[in-house]
Structure 1
């Protein structure tokens, strides 16, 4: 089982089934929207 973790706030975004235990880093919608507002 793998986990997708937000690289900005470290909150768990989702879990997925996989052969190995894996942690993937992405951005959650909250942090993604916050970053988009800062770039404007």
Structure 2
């Protein structure tokens, strides 16, 4: 089983069945939205 973890806030997004055990990094919806706001302001 692998955990998908937000690379911005370290919140666990989801656990997925897998042959290996480990951690995958992504961005959660809340952090995605904040990143878009920062990009739009610049």
Q: What TM-score do you get using the length of structure 1 for normalisation?
A: 0.95
Q: Give 5+ residue unaligned stretches, structure 2.
A: none
Q: Give 5+ residue unaligned stretches, structure 1.
A: none
Q: What TM-score do you get using the length of structure 2 for normalisation?
A: 0.91
Runs of 4 or more, structure 1, over 3 Å off, are none
What is the aligned length? 40
RMSD: 0.4
